[in-house]
């Protein structure tokens, strides 16, 4: 007989057994609890259990006003707090019919792309760590630190920025912002080639990722995957391209897709996205128009009765914010469609038949942030 | 797989490892020239923080111990966490009218998430964010602060 509390349970009559990975496990990048059914080293089934970091942010938002609820979404996807805040601010603006000044739009897009690079930097360090290399983690954090300093300088916080407010951004950019962003891009252009030399070409790393965790185009669509995870399988799903918000329709950038759909394609995907983000930043940084950074809004925001939806492309995929308003100062219901949740649901399909070590690598290429999955 | 391919794979594999080791070796040789880590408690004297960094809410007082807080409680309403509690009183003006003023401005640092919404909401610019960050204390109760200094009063002309 086996008990629920046993760490390892054997299934009578078969060679299979059930083990728990997490919730406190260093390779799950947070408090994700995976229940694995394994036969020796081979993974037969993966059941993600979530709920260990549930803070009921959606319910909490129902008691906060339309200005206040934006700050709490920084705590969902904490590596890309700016894009979360952006989606919420855009949804409120859409409901109120607020016109965002052009300068604020430029600043928002610049910050989004900086956030994307910072998030992918951390991901690059952690995927290498998941595959057994420790050095890349320190190199990635060196570059991420520069972005954090830029954020600290302009937004006033390093991680939970809360820089977007309905109508624009909270404060104008710091006088040294443009120079420090240019310095960063110049620095990062040379360092990203170093990333390729150190990890991308590495034979051990390649054999860990190539042909592992395949996700076909059809499966990526049916599991609702978005972001780099889906684009590596050949699904063209970039919100910035298909449903342009702010000034993305005026920017010249390409949506990168791969067709292989394996872990290595997802890896190359994100590295290419970092380069693409840099080119977006270079296009915008010298052309920030003069003007207001914040539109004039009423002191108390009241959304008209109805339903509002806005979406942005976060580093992990499509984040949707759905607000149901009854006409009051607080939302009646808020729903977040977070990218990590759908991407995680494909994990079982991708991992079946692979080894336990590959599970960690596949999970690394999905770029999971658990508080984003489990709000 | 033929023999030629086999040896080519070995050669390319070793070459890729050597390329990676070149980067690591480069850092090993010049790591003393470019230090990235900061030795935090030791570098306190030279530590430069961003001026906008949000560390705690402070109330600005001038040299006459006067502040600009009218006790309108806009910050209290803007705060998402119930961090701020403004207790007001009624002062008598020289004309004999009653005027609302702040009695105690209570700030719970332990509840604050530094979202800056109170500072944005303040119509008179009485409060702002300071870039102090060393808030560790042994007793939680010391984190509840009174922001208006004892004996302070509102600056003349602030409505």
CATH number of B96's domain: 3.30.70.3270
Which residue of A72, A142, A202 is in closest CB contact with B36? A142
Q: Quick check: is B100 in a domain? A: yes
Which residue of A64, A72, A198 is in closest CB contact with B20? A198
Nearest CA to CA, how far is A251 from chain B (Å)? 30
Say yes or no: B63 and B116 in one domain: yes
Residues of B in contact with A196 (CB under 8 A): none
How far apart are alpha carbons B106 and B115 in whole angstroms? 17
Say yes or no: B27 and B61 in one domain: no
Q: Quick check: is B43 in a domain? A: no
Say yes or no: B25 and B83 in one domain: no
Residue of B nearest to A162 (CA): B115
Say yes or no: B101 and B141 in one domain: yes
Is the Cα dihedral A133, A139, A142, A144 positive or negative? negative
Q: Which domain holds residue B9?
A: 1-36
**Pick from A206, A184, A170, A166: which is nearest to A301 by CA?**
A166
Average of pLDDT values for A14-43? Answer: 82
Nearest CA to CA, how far is A300 from chain B (Å)? 10
Q: Quick check: is B41 in a domain? A: no
Domains and CATH numbers, chain A: 4-49 (no CATH), 57-350+360-374 (1.10.645.10)
E strand or H helix at A61, and its extent? helix A57-61
Say yes or no: B80 and B146 in one domain: yes
Interface check B123 vs A, CB under 8 A: no
Which residue of B17, B23, B114 is in closest CB contact with A157? B114
pLDDT tens readout for residues A156-206 = 888 888 888 888 888 888 888 889 999 999 989 888 888 888 888 888 888
Q: Quick check: is B46 in a domain? A: no
Residues of A in contact with B76 (CB under 8 A): none
Say yes or no: B134 and B71 in one domain: yes
Residue of B nearest to A144 (CA): B36
Interface check A170 vs B, CB under 8 A: yes
Is the Cα dihedral A39, A43, A45, A48 positive or negative? positive
pLDDT tens readout for residues A225-242 = 998 989 988 888 888 888
Higher-pLDDT residue of A367, A2: A367
pLDDT given for residue A159 in this prediction? 87
Q: How many domains does chain B have?
A: 2
ipTM over 0.85: no
Say yes or no: B9 and B82 in one domain: no
Average of pLDDT values for A43-64? Answer: 88
pTM, rounded to two decimals? 0.89
Ranking A99-103, B32-36, B52-56 by mean pLDDT, the lowest is B32-36
Say yes or no: B74 and B100 in one domain: yes
Q: Check if the beta carbon of residue A69 is closer than 8 Å to that of residue A331.
A: yes
Query: Torsions phi, psi of A169, nearest 5?
Result: -120, 160
**Pick from A53, A65, A51: which is nearest to A323 by CA?**
A65
Interface check B78 vs A, CB under 8 A: yes
Say yes or no: B147 and B110 in one domain: yes
Residues of B in contact with A174 (CB under 8 A): 50, 52
């Amino acid at each position: 007989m086996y008990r629920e509390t046993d760490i390892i349970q054997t299934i009578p009559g078969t060679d299979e057994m059930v083990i728990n990975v997490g919730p406190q496990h260093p390779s799950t990048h947070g408090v994700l609890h995976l229940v694995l059914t394994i036969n020796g080293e081979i993974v037969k089934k993966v059941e993600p259990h979530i709920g260990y970091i549930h803070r009921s942010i959606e319910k909490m938002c129902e008691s906060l006003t339309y200005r206040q609820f934006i700050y709490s979404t920084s705590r969902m996807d904490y590596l890309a707090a700016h894009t979360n805040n952006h989606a919420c601010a855009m949804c409120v603006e859409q409901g109120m019919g607020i016109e965002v000044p052009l300068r604020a739009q430029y600043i928002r897009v610049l910050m989004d792309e900086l956030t994307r690079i910072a998030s992918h930097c951390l991901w690059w360090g952690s995927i290498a760590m998941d595959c057994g290399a420790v050095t890349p983690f320190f190199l990635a954090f060196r570059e991420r630190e520069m972005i954090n300093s830029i954020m600290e300088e302009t937004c006033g916080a390093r991680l939970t920025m809360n820089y977007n407010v309905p109508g624009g951004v909270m404060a104008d950019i710091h006088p040294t912002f443009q120079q420090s962003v240019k310095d960063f891009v110049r620095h990062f252009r040379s360092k990203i080639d170093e990333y390729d030399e150190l990890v991308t070409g590495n034979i051990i790393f390649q054999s860990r990722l190539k042909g592992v965790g395949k996700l076909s185009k059809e499966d990526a669509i049916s599991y609702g995957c978005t972001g780099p995870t889906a684009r590596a399988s050949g699904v063209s799903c970039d919100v910035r391209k298909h449903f342009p918000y702010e000034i993305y329709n005026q920017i010249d950038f390409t949506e990168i897709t791969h067709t292989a759909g394996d872990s290595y394609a997802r890896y190359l995907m994100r590295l290419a996205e970092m380069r693409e983000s840099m080119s977006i930043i270079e296009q915008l940084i010298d052309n920030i128009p003069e003007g207001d950074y914040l539109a004039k809004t009423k002191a108390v925001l009241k959304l008209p009765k109805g339903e509002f939806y806005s979406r942005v492309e976060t580093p992990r995929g499509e984040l949707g914010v759905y607000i149901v308003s009854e006409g009051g100062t607080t939302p009646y219901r808020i729903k977040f469609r977070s990218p990590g949740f759908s991407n995680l649901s494909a994990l079982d399909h991708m991992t079946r038949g692979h080894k336990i070590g590959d599970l960690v690598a596949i999970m690394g290429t999905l770029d999971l942030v658990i508080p984003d999955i489990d709000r | 797989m033929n023999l030629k391919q086999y040896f080519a794979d070995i050669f390319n594999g070793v070459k890729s490892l050597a390329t990676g080791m070149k980067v690591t070796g480069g850092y090993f040789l010049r790591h003393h020239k470019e230090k990235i880590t900061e030795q935090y408690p030791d570098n306190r004297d030279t530590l430069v923080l961003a001026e906008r960094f949000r560390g705690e809410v402070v109330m600005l007082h001038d040299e006459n111990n006067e502040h600009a807080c009218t006790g309108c409680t806009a910050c209290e309403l803007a705060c998402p966490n119930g961090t701020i509690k403004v207790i007001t009183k009624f002062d008598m003006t020289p004309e004999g009218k009653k005027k609302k003023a702040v009695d105690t401005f209570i700030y719970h640092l332990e509840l604050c998430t530094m979202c800056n919404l109170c500072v944005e909401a303040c119509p008179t610019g009485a409060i702002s964010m300071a870039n102090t960050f060393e808030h560790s204390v042994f007793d939680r109760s010391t984190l509840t602060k009174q922001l208006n200094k004892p004996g302070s009063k509102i600056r003349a002309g602030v409505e």
